Amino acid sequence: MRLATIRTSDGTRAVRLDGDDRIDLGVTDVGALLADPDWEARAGRDGDTLGRDAAFAPLVPDPGKIVCVGLNYAPHIREMGRDLPEHPTLFAKFRESLIGPYDPLVLPEESAAVDWEGELTVVIGRAVRRADEQAAAAAIAGFTVANDVTTRDWQYRTKQWLQGKTFEATTPVGPVLVTPDEVPGGVAPDLRLRTILGDEVVQEARTSELVFDPVALVQYVSQIVTLRPGDLVLTGTPGGVGHARTPPRYLQDGDVLVTEIEHLGRCRNEVRKA
């Protein structure tokens, strides 16, 4: 299945995409849908068809947790001058950082070094704590696209990354959740990820190159805290970020940032000055 959250005149609605049709699922958003233990059956039911011109909202507008993983592709680890990690490097974002997959990306006026980080994102579909491999796999509702847009000058002010990772309205997520049965590789997806800036492909990798794959990440994070339906896990970015270039390259007013993962779709965000 392919699920999304769209904006309507009456607020957001969760929908199932059947070709070009958007079938109303009777709840406000995908996060609310996933909170129903019987969400898969509910998502498969018939409903009213909503307008095709409605804009996509962030896939899960109000996740309880946004857990992010740093340094999870070997080429990116090397370009940042680090060793392969023994454990995942985790940080968090807040829900205020999220924007829709086609919303403008407004450059924070506080930063002069806004960078791109295209990422495969895991969407949690059931509560899980101290998961084994089987339980972790079962907790994955599906996958979507995100860009962990980062203010590098703020990220490296201290050894803690949070302040550079969660500037308000900088993280596009969507457009759809695709369930594992429709993804090559299932819960261990093998998909081409690309980030495109203007006409230039600036990042390209396969998600099978992750050091810690989605199931391993769900297992690891669930040792720390209960993951709940609608939580998001951004799995890390491959090589090609602007900060690692010589000279460094950052997002500028007028850029168009595209983040695409085959079978999952793309985010396309016009970059604007504040």
The reported pLDDT for the residue numbered 255 is 98
Domain residue spans of the chain: 1-57, 58-273
pLDDT per residue as tens digits for the range 1-51: 999 999 998 899 999 999 989 999 999 999 999 999 999 999 999 999 998
The C-alpha atoms of residue 89 and residue 72 are separated, in whole angstroms, by 8
The C-alpha atoms of residue 195 and residue 117 are separated, in whole angstroms, by 8
pLDDT per residue as tens digits for the range 147-188: 999 999 999 999 999 999 999 999 999 999 999 999 999 999
pLDDT per residue as tens digits for the range 175-225: 999 999 999 999 999 999 999 999 999 999 999 999 999 999 999 999 999
pLDDT per residue as tens digits for the range 99-115: 999 999 999 999 999 99
pLDDT greater than 80 at residue 79: no
Q: Are 31 and 84 within 8 A, CB to CB?
A: no
The reported pLDDT for the residue numbered 102 is 98
DSSP 34-70: HTSTTHHHHHTS--PEEPTTPPBPPSSSS-S-EEEEE
pLDDT per residue as tens digits for the range 49-69: 998 888 999 999 999 999 999
The reported pLDDT for the residue numbered 274 is 85
pLDDT per residue as tens digits for the range 114-148: 999 999 999 999 999 999 999 999 999 999 999 99
pLDDT per residue as tens digits for the range 80-97: 777 888 999 999 999 999
Q: Are 128 and 226 within 8 A, CB to CB?
A: yes
What fold does the segment set 58-273 form as a domain?
Answer: Fumarylacetoacetate hydrolase; domain 2 (3.90.850)
